[in-house]
Amino acid sequence: MEFHILDTLPVLREIIVEGHFETGAIVISLVSLGILILWQNTRLKECNCLPGALVVVIMGVLLNDLFSYWHPDWVLSGGENGHLVHLPESIVAGGFQGFLGELRLPDWPAFLDPEIYIIALTIGLVASVETLLSVEVVDKLDPHKRSTPLNLELLAQGAANVLAGLLGALPITAVIVRSSANVNAGGQTRMSAFIHGVLLFLAVAFMAGILNLIPLASLAAILLMVGYKLARPALFRLMYAGGWNPFVPFVVTILAVLITDLLTGIAIGTAVGIFYTIRANFRRSIQVEREGEAYLVRLNKDVSFLNKAILSEALNQIPQGSRVIIYGSRADFIDLDIQEIIREFQVRAYKNDMELEVRGVQPADARG
């Protein structure tokens, strides 16, 4: 299910205009945030045996139970559209047998439906992008600063998704919430991820009734804290300090993901990033340095016809009577249009009493 920030507008209207909100959910979310902040900023965070997120979940269940004695109107209800975790009733009532009953064999005739392949390609792209983003963040969180083999990660995810599809399960992907929880709990090897999966399996298969008591408000508070850690204000200040080239694609990507979806947002952000990268390379291809009445015009990397306007503007701003050096030894390629501009500038320099020296450009091209 994709999340769009526009989808929240009807909910916000209900809360603000109609005054429709769940007091119990607000209380639980505020208490949960308070516990997480306390856990993060005190010595409690050193207690790896009892993660703050687990304390939040337990506290949320206890608070919702206490509401039935203190404020019955605050009690959060379950069900498909309720405010608690909702696992199918067949698993809750039937236990492990009910869990096995939820498994479905593939619908083999569906392989002849072309729409299936479009959906599969979309899911594959979205899952791969989400996994790669999560891997990049987890590598930064890793205290040993190891690098995850991306090809192996995607290969393992693809194999797991094939197996999940054969069992009628949802596609899987790396998720930063569980991954960061694994790192914060002291996980060091791949075995921690395997044990994590086994615990999830056992919890759903044998503890579905207990899981259905967990308030979504507690889980939302955990997500808020994880999101804040990954996008602190200091990160925005750091990106802004780096200039417009990294900052604009960064902000555009965030807004595009929130307004559209993950895949579209990443595509828009990538396109904007490519534009600013090309723009920066154009500007770096030609540099002008001034010392008194002397000007040094450097031609760096490949100088193509796309840099023609930048070079013309730079040369036109040099006043009469100046000493100018055009240095092209660092350039691997100088387009004919650029050479033509240099030849034209040579003529203009002679008429304007400029002292011009051209280095690193072939004499025949530079002097005509």
Each domain of the chain, given as residue ranges in start order, spans 1-86+212-230, 98-205, 234-280, 292-367
For residue range 312-352, list pLDDT tens digits in order: 888 888 888 889 888 888 777 888 888 888 888 888 888 88
pTM score of the predicted model: 0.68
Amino acid at 189: T
Q: Answer whether 177's CB lies under 8 Å from 130's CB.
A: no
pLDDT-derived band at 364, boundaries 50, 70, 90: very low
Share of the chain above pLDDT 70, in %: 92
Checking if the pLDDT of 17 tops 60, the result is no
DSSP states of 265-309 as a string? HHHHHHHHHHHHHHHHHHHHHEEEEEETTEEEEEE-EEE-GGGHH
Checking if the pLDDT of 368 tops 50, the result is no
209: closest CA among 86, 103, 100, 102? 86
Q: Answer whether 300's CB lies under 8 Å from 287's CB.
A: yes
Phi, psi values for residue 313, rounded to 5°:
-65, -40
Residues in CB range of 89: below 8 A, 6 or more apart: none
DSSP states of 48-77 as a string? TTS-HHHHHHHHHHHHHHHHHHH-GGGPPP
Mean pLDDT of the 105-130 span: 85
Amino acid at 35: I
The CATH class for the domain spanning 292-367 reads: alpha beta
Checking if the pLDDT of 145 tops 70, the result is yes
Share of the chain above pLDDT 90, in %: 9
For residue range 27-73, list pLDDT tens digits in order: 999 999 999 998 888 877 777 677 888 899 999 999 999 998 888 88
Q: Answer whether 297's CB lies under 8 Å from 286's CB.
A: yes
Amino acid at 364: A
Provide the mean pLDDT of the chain.
82
**What is the pLDDT at residue 27?**
92
Residue 46 and residue 185: Cα distance in Å, rounded? Answer: 10
Task: Tell me how crowded residue 335 is: count the other CB atoms within 10 A of its CB.
Answer: 16
**What is the pLDDT at residue 60?**
93
Mean pLDDT of the 227-253 span: 83
**What is the pLDDT at residue 366?**
38
